[in-house]
């Protein structure tokens, strides 16, 4: 029977031996279904038999795949999201560890859930990403995307950094803190939650700004429209005191007078879930809301 996913790309978690068994089973399963399989370089390293397989880099996978299956966890899916969102490739996550917010298919249920998904029975949602640019002396020196968050933070000193924060050209506050988290709704259950930020429903078109250990206790989290452009000016004179980190994976060092501009990326991530997906059920289990004291 025809289905929308004729070519499927496989992506694996780097350096995780536990990935091998799941990837081999998944590849064999897809082969038996007559589906063309593309192996990301991260996945190819774990397969016991690569004869007849097509191994491609992430750019080529994005250009050819109808669906990408990510084997690992939320961190692996974050990396895949940044490289696949612009090509509009839907992503399905197989989680090898604890229950994930993003990767929610377990290896034990993988075969049955693939049956349903390939038959067209699945839930799809779009998740917004951020695009962060760093300007130095008026020139762009770094750009990166983030599905969870862009974090401006201290990294090699035991004192606060100073930041001027503006939204849509309007000055908001001068912040003395360990840093500032700018998070999507997806990232609101990650670092932003640990920093005291609110949990945002993934369907909201919003961004949350969460100060990290602010000196002034009245500097509280702020939720704004994701149409807003957020600008953060790094103050001070210590050239090695701050950096920006996107999704906890991409880092760039900041110096005094650097301007960080953060806005919503024009392309969303297409995230595929089993048809019985329930975001609140995952939150309840992940955050242990149902446990009795």
Question: Which of the residues are catalytic?
Answer: 74
Give the count of alpha carbons within 13 A of 120, CB side only: 4
**Cα separation, 191 vs 197, whole angstroms:** 9
What are the residues facing 68 on neighbouring strands?
Answer: 9, 91
- Per DSSP, 199 falls in state P
**Residue 63: what are its φ and ψ, rounded to 5°?**
-80, -15
String of DSSP letters for 90-127: -EEEEESSSPPSS--B-GGGHHHHHHHHHTT-EEEEEE
**Cα separation, 237 vs 137, whole angstroms:** 15
- Record the tokens describing residue 198, joined without a space: 């609110």
Quick check: 38 and 62 in contact, CB under 8 A? no
Exposed, middle or buried: residue 198 (CB in 10 Å: 0-12, 13-18, 19+)? middle
A 10 A CB-CB count for 278 gives 13
């Amino acid at each position: 029977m025809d289905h929308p996913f004729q070519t499927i790309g496989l992506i694996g978690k780097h350096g995780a031996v536990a990935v091998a068994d799941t990837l081999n089973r998944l590849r064999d399963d897809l082969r038996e279904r007559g589906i063309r399989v593309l192996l990301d370089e991260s996945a190819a390293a774990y397969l016991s038999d690569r004869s007849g397989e097509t191994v491609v880099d992430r750019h080529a996978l994005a250009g050819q795949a109808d669906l990408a299956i990510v084997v690992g966890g939320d961190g692996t899916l974050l990396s895949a999201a940044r490289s696949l969102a612009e090509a509009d490739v839907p992503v399905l996550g197989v989680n090898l560890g604890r229950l994930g917010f993003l990767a929610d298919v377990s290896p034990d249920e993988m075969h049955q859930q693939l049956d349903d998904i390939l038959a067209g029975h699945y839930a799809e949602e779009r998740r917004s990403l951020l695009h962060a640019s760093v300007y130095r002396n008026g020139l762009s020196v770094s750009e990166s995307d983030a599905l969870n968050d862009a974090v401006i933070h201290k990294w090699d000193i035991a004192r606060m950094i100073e930041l001027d924060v503006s939204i849509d050209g309007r000055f908001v506050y001068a912040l003395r803190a360990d840093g500032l988290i700018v998070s999507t709704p997806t990232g609101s259950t990650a670092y932003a939650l640990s920093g005291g930020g609110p949990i945002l429903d993934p369907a909201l078109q919003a961004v949350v700004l969460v100060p990290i250990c602010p000196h002034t206790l009245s500097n509280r989290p702020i939720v704004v429209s994701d149409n807003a452009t957020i600008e953060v000016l790094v103050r001070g004179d210590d050239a090695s005191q701050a950096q920006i980190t996107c999704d906890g994976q991409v880092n760039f060092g900041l110096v005094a007078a650097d301007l960080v501009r953060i806005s919503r990326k024009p392309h969303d991530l297409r995230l595929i879930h089993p048809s019985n997906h329930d975001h609140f059920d995952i939150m309840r289990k992940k955050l242990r809301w149902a446990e009795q004291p």
